[in-house]
Amino acid sequence: MPKVLFVCLGNICRSPTAQGVFMKLVEEQGLAHVVAADSAGTHAYHVGEPPDPRAQEAARKRGIDLSPQRARQVVERDFETFDYLVAMDTENLAFLCSLCSPRQEGKVRLLMEFAPGSGLRDVPDPYYGARNGFERVLDLVEEAAGGLIGHLRAAHRL
Ligand code: 4NP
């Protein structure tokens, strides 16, 4: 079963949103018994906290409940547990690559790789920005999550 860990900086905005959007699509496509996901942050500032209320509100409007999630920090063991560590931006990507062994680097990916039509590499950090930043995160994540599921279907014959 492919296991995916979505990773951002604080684990309260982008990666919980990505986990929620991804799992909704996974369920809609009847893949919940064969794909698993979690999320984590590169930093520990918000460990134990639920997702940012602005992220929760934006996701709720699209039928996604982020409230059960709690922030945690990436741990070394994640590189063993998960098949894909999917970074929300290039900073998160560099951080993950600095933590793992060369053997594990192939597991570290950038979310927006799975939405090649967007021409973007980063999901912009909405934490200090305007409220519509959270809508933008949802739009980008929805597009890339669909691409990621397509990749998993092909690579794992799901
Ligand atoms: P996230 O957003 O990485 O998408 O969860 C942030 C959350 C908190 C902080 C920065 C980004 N912070 O500096 O506390």
Q: Shortest CA distance to 141 belongs to which of 1, 40, 6? A: 6
Residues 95-124 as b or e (16 or more Cβ within 10 Å = b): bbeebbeeebeebbbbbbbbbeeeebebbe
SS3 state at 33 = coil
Q: What is the CATH number of the domain that holds 138?
A: 3.40.50.2300
**15: CA distance to ligand 1 center in Å?**
10
pLDDT in tens, 124-145: 999 998 879 999 999 999 999 9
pLDDT digits (tens, 9 = 90+) for 58-96: 999 999 999 999 999 999 999 999 999 999 999 999 999
Q: Please give the model's pTM, rounded to 2 decimal places.
A: 0.98
Ligand 1: atom nearest CA of 92 is: 3
Q: How many domains does the chain have?
A: 1
Domain that holds residue 97: 3-156
Mean pLDDT of the chain, nearest integer: 97
Give the pLDDT confidence score for residue 130 in this predicted structure.
84
Instruction: Determine the pLDDT at residue 131.
Output: 78
Residue appearing with tokens 């951002």: 8
Strand, coil or helix: 107: helix
pLDDT score at 137:
98
Choice from 6, 7, 12, 47 to test ligand 1 binding pocket (greatest atom count within 8 A of CB): 12
Among this protein's residues, is 83 annotated catalytic? Answer: no
